[in-house]
Amino acid sequence: MNTSFDEITKELEKAEQKDLNIKIKPIIHETVQFLDITIMNANGQLKTSIYHKPSADPYYLPHTSDYPHAIHRNIPYTALLRAVRLCSNLHDFHLEQLCINVSLLLNNYAPKLITNQFLPFFQVNKANFLIKRFNK
């Protein structure tokens, strides 16, 4: 069932009146950002990727912080898991993998630790062929 833009706007305004924490700005556009995702309509095909706020720094828990090693070890893996869940195509996933890699390096993660966590991610998800493809 298709609902008109005006009807949807009225429902969103009702939600805002019920809870002041709800702030939704209804827009019609080819690309929208919601929370940490970009949703794009490309000729009727929805595509998703991770949205990076321009004002936000590429930040992960610094490797030099005083947390158990297991916490640091899991960050690269879970960052890739988030990327694969939010990116609807391989190209966007690869770009996000590069962003994750650079962000981790900027936060003092050793390249070997990053590689040692990226490899199991691809192995567990039966995507070893992507490692070779991305390294070309």
- pLDDT single digits (tens) 78-112: 899 999 999 999 899 999 999 999 999 998 889 99
pLDDT-derived band of residue 130, with 50, 70 and 90 as boundaries?
low
pTM: 0.71
- Other CB atoms within a 10 A radius of the CB of residue 30 amount to 9
* Per-residue model confidence as pLDDT tens digits over 44-53: 888 999 998 8
Question: CB–CB of 70/107 below 8 Å?
Answer: no
Which residue range forms the structural domain that includes residue 124?
Answer: 5-134
**Residue corresponding to tokens 């567990």:** 124
Residues 6+ apart with CB under 8 A from 64: 108
Question: CB–CB of 104/60 below 8 Å?
Answer: yes
Domain count along the chain: 1
